[in-house]
Chains A and B, each alone.
Chain A
Amino acid sequence: MGAGPLLALKALYKNFGGILAINDLSFELAQGELLGLIGPNGSGKTTAVNLITGFVKPSSGAVVYRGRTISGLPPYAIVRLGISRTFQMVKPFYQLPAYKNMIIPLCSPRVKQMAGGRYGDRDAVALDLLEEVGFERDAQVAYKSAAVLPQGYLKRLELAKAIALKPDVVILDELFSGLSLAEVASIVPIIERLRQEGKSIIMIEHRLKELFRIADRVVVLNFGQKIAEGRAEAVMASDAVKKAYLGVEA
C-alpha cells in the first residue's frame, strides 16, 4: 500500500430517483490529514459521508480504503475496518444515562478486536471516554439522563461514541452546528488531540472560521460536484466558490 492515500473516492455518482445528489465526485484523504468538506445546504455533503460509510450505495464509482474497494460492503463491516462517523442529527437513547449510551459502541466487535480479544469493563471505559470529551467527572454529568443534557453535551456524546470504536478515520458531520462559540471552542482541542494521535479526519462544517483554523485542506461541493479543492485561503478566493457558496457575484 505504502504511499497511496488512506481513503479515496473515485468518480462517485449517486442518483436519488432523478436527483443527482453526488455528481462525479473524487477526492482523497491522506494518512493523518484533517480534510474539511464544505458546501451550501443540500450540496451532497451528508450523502458523500453516507457513501463512504456504506449507509448509501453509489449509483456508480467506488470508495477505496487502504487499497481495497469498500463500497458495497454493509455499513457495520466498514466500521469494523476503522471508519467511524457522527450523525448530523444526534439521536441518543434519551431514557438512558449518558454513560449507558456508550455501551452500544463498546459492544462493537471492533472494540474487542482492537483490545486484543476482550471487551473489558464497559462502564469504566465509558466513563473514561466521556471524561476525554469533556464530561466533567466531578460534576457526575455522565450519570445524567441523555434527556436532560444540553445540545453541547449530546454532540460530545456523539463524538465519544465515534472515538470509542478506536477508528483510524473519523468523519464528523456538522459536529458544531447548533453550538455556541464557547462550546465550539471547548471541542476544538479534542479534535486536535485526535489528530495528534494520528487519526485522519473528515470534517463537514458550516462554521468556516473554526474549520479553517484546523483543516489542512478543504473540498468544496455544490450540487453534488466538487467545485474547488486545496488550502482554505486559496479555495475561498476562487470565483466559483464565492459565487456558489457565498452567493457573491464575482
Chain B
Amino acid sequence: MERRKERIDRGIKVRAGDVFALCSWREMLYLLAPRLIPVLGFLLLPLILDNYWQKVLLSVAAFALLAISWDILAQSGMISLGQALFFGLGAYCSGVLTHVFGWPPLLALPVAALLGGLLSTLCLLPVLRLRGVYFSMVTLIIPLMLVRVVEATKIFGGTEGLSGIAPLPSKWIELYLIVGALLAALFGFRRMLDSDYGLVLKAIKDNDRSVINAGINIYWFKAQALFIASSLAALTGAFMTHVYMFVGMPVFALDYSILPIAAAVVGGPGTLAGATVGAVILVPLSEVLRGIGGLRIVFYGLFLVVFIVALPEGIFHYIQRKYHQFERWVEVQ
C-alpha cells in the first residue's frame, strides 16, 4: 500500500470564484484578509515602531519597490541585473531638480520618477531586441559605466556628489509616502499583470514569436514595461535622495541591483506580492545580522541558499497554497 499527498482547494476558495456565492462575514474575511493584513500592517507599523525601526521600514519599502520593479520586468521577459541604473537615474534627477533648480522635493519626486524612467528606457532601447543573458549583461554594465562617467567628468559634484539636498517636509510624510507608494504599486501593478495587457507581457516572456504572430509589436510593449518598471525604481531612488539629503556615485552601487533580485526570488517571482514578502524578510534580516560583524554576508548568503533550496517556489506561493488548499494523505494501490 502506498500513500501519496493529495491537495484539495478549500470549498470556500472554489465558491469565492463566484461573488454571489459569498454570504457570511467569515467568507468575506477569508477573501479580504490577504489584502487587509499587508495594508493594515504597513499603515500601522510607522505608528508602532521606534525611530531606528522606522528607518528599517523605510528601507524595506524602498527595496520592495525595487523588487516589484524587477518582477514587472521579469514578467515581461527582461531579467534586469541593473536596478541600480533606474534607481540612480531617479536619484540624480531629483537631486539636480531640487539642488540646482531649487524645486520643492514633493514636486521633484514625481518628475524625477518619470524623467528617470524615460532616461532608463532610452538607455536600454537599443538593446531591447537582445534576449536573455545578453540583455541582462547590458543592464549590469551601464550603471557601472555611469559611475565612471560621473567620476571622470566631475558632473553633478563628481566623486563628492551633491549634499545638503532638501529633505521631505516631515518624517511622517516621508514614511507614509513610501508606504503609500508601495501599496499602490503592489495592488495597482498586480491588477495590471492580471489584465489582458499583463497577459500580453507574460506571453512575450513565454513565447515571443507567438505574440509577434498576433500582429503585436513586442518591442513597443517591452518598452512600455521598461518605462513602467524603471519609473517605479526611479521614484524609489528620488525618494532616497531626499531621505539621505545626498546623491552621489553610491546610488549606482551593486546592492540596489542584487538585493531586489534576492527579494523577488526568495519571495517568489511573478506575483509582486512575493517580491514584497521577500523584502519584508531580507531587509530586517540584514539589519539583525549587522550585530555579528564580519560574517554577516556569509550568514546572509547561507540563509538565501537554504531558502531557495527549501522553497524553490518562493515564500509567497507557499503561503498562498497553504491558504487556499488543505492537504491529506490518501492511500493508493
Interface residues of chain A, those whose CB is within 8 Å of chain B, are: 53, 55, 74-77, 79-80, 84-85, 87, 91, 93, 96, 100, 103-110, 122, 161, 165
Contacts and interface: CB of A to CB of B under 8 A. Distances in A.
B211 A104 contact: yes
A55 B199 contact: no
Contacts of A96: 199
Contact of A76 (B197, B200, B202, B215): B215
B216 interface: yes
Interface in B210-232: 210-218
Interface string B262-284: 00000000000000000000000
- Please classify the interface of chain A as helix (H, G, I), strand (E, B), loop, or mixed, using the class held by over half of its residues: helix
A109 B209 contact: no
A161 B215 CA distance: 11
A87 B215 contact: no
A104 B197 CA distance: 9
B131 to A, nearest CB: 15
B199 A104 contact: yes
B77 to A, nearest CB: 13
Contacts of B200: 103-104, 107
B199 A74 contact: no
A122 B196 contact: yes
Contacts of B199: 96, 100, 103-104, 107
B327 interface: no
User: In which size bucket is the chain B interface?
Assistant: 10 to 19
B216 A109 contact: yes
A87 B216 contact: no
B170 interface: no
B214 A93 contact: no
A104 B215 contact: no
A79 B213 contact: yes
Contacts of B216: 76, 104, 107-109
B239 to A, nearest CB: 34
Contact of A91 (B196, B207, B214, B215): B207
- Please classify the interface of chain B as helix (H, G, I), strand (E, B), loop, or mixed, using the class held by over half of its residues: helix
Contacts of B211: 104
Contacts of B196: 103, 106-107, 122
A79 B203 contact: no
B206 interface: yes
Contacts of A108: 214-216
A128 B103 CA distance: 55
A79 B209 contact: no
A87 B217 contact: no
Nearest to B204: A104
A103 B197 CA distance: 9
A107 B214 contact: yes
Contacts of A74: 212, 217
Given A55-B209, A87-B210, A107-B196, A93 B215 contact: no
24 contacts: A55-B209, A74-B212, A76-B215, A76-B217, A76-B218, A77-B215, A79-B213, A84-B215, A85-B213, A87-B209, A91-B209, A91-B210, A104-B203, A104-B214, A105-B214, A106-B196, A107-B197, A107-B200, A107-B214, A107-B216, A108-B216, A122-B196, A161-B213, A165-B215
Nearest to A95: B206
B246 to A, nearest CB: 44
Name the 8 nearest CB pairs between A and B, nearest first.
Answer: A79-B215, A105-B214, A108-B215, A110-B215, A108-B214, A80-B215, A91-B207, A76-B217
A117 to B, nearest CB: 16
A123 to B, nearest CB: 9
Given A93-B202, A93-B206, A110-B215, 5 more contacts: A76-B214, A91-B207, A100-B199, A104-B210, A105-B214
A80 B217 CA distance: 10
A74 B220 CA distance: 13
A55 B209 CA distance: 9
A106 B211 CA distance: 11
B207 A76 contact: no
Contacts of A122: 196
Contacts of B202: 93
Contacts of B215: 76-77, 79-80, 84, 105, 108-110, 165
B216 to A, nearest CB: 6
Contacts of B209: 55, 87, 91
B307 to A, nearest CB: 24
A103 B211 CA distance: 10
